[in-house]
Structures are given as C-alpha cells and as structure tokens.
C-alpha cells in the first residue's frame, strides 16, 4: 500500500515538474501546434526516465497526433531532458503513428533509424 502511494506521489511530482518546465517555455512553445498540457497529463508516465519502456495509451496517442514534434524538438531544454527520456519520447511518437524523421535533433538527442528505436532497451 505504501509503495503504491509513493509511486503516485513520484508520478504526481513528475507531472507537476514537467508542467512547470512546459509553462516556463510557453513563449517558445506557443509557436508550436499542440495541446502541451494534455501531452504532459496523458503521456508523462510513458516518457519518464525511470521505469521500463511501454506502449502509450490511446489517450496519449490522441494528444500526440496533434503535436508538432519538429517544432517542439527545437525547444527541448536540458531541464526537460533531465526528467524525460528522449528515447522513450521518440518511441511514443512512433508508436502513435507520428515517427520523427531519422537524424532529427530533439534537444541533445538525435533520432536513430526506426530499427534502432524498436530495439532500444531502457
């Protein structure tokens, strides 16, 4: 019981922290198309640095389908990369039918070829 509460608190704090980072970059991200609050709310558990790689939910994919990742990637900061696994974020985008082009820079991360994305073990 205590472990599940701790897990919930960690997830909640991650969402709050990610929301804070997203809001601090609002001016830059305001240029990008998409629901960033929805992205944090629906997809944060799938892109956290901790935990295994897992397939995103349909709710997450519904938000992902309307996000301009090419634009968002230009605004990924080091602070964002401290809490979000860019490998998982690229995997989630691809799993939702929005793969990023091989060689795209997303923060300091370079998107590998599709075969490498599928083989990433986190």
> pLDDT value at position 74?
87
pLDDT, position 11: 55
Least confident stretch, 5-14, 44-53, 57-66, 83-92: 5-14
- Residues 40 and 92 sit within 8 Å (Cβ to Cβ): no
Task: List CB contacts of 110: < 8 A, sequence separation 6 or more.
Answer: 103, 104
Angle, helices 36-47 vs 2-24, to 10°: value is 140
pLDDT at residue 2 tops 50 = yes
Which tens digits make up the pLDDT trace of 36-74? Answer: 888 889 999 999 998 899 999 999 999 999 988 888 888
Q: Which residue has the higher pLDDT, 22 or 75?
A: 75
Distance separating alpha carbons of residues 67 and 75, to the nearest angstrom: 13
Show Cβ contacts of residue 93 under 8 Å, excluding neighbours closer than 6 positions: 64, 69, 99, 100
- Domains of the chain plus CATH, in order, are 2-119 (1.10.110.10)
Residues 118 and 93: beta-carbon distance below 8 Å: no
């Amino acid at each position: 019981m205590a472990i599940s509460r701790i897990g919930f608190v960690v997830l909640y704090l991650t969402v709050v922290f990610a929301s804070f980072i997203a809001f601090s970059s609002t001016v830059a991200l305001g240029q990008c198309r998409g629901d960033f609050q929805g992205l944090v709310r629906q997809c944060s558990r799938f892109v956290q640095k901790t935990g295994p790689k897992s397939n995103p939910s349909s709710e997450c994919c519904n938000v992902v389908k309307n996000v301009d990742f090419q634009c968002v990637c230009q605004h990924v900061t080091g602070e964002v990369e401290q809490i979000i696994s860019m490998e998982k974020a690229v995997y989630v985008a691809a799993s939702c039918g929005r793969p990023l082009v091989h060689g795209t820079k997303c923060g300091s991360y370079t998107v590998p070829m599709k075969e490498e994305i599928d083989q990433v073990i986190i």
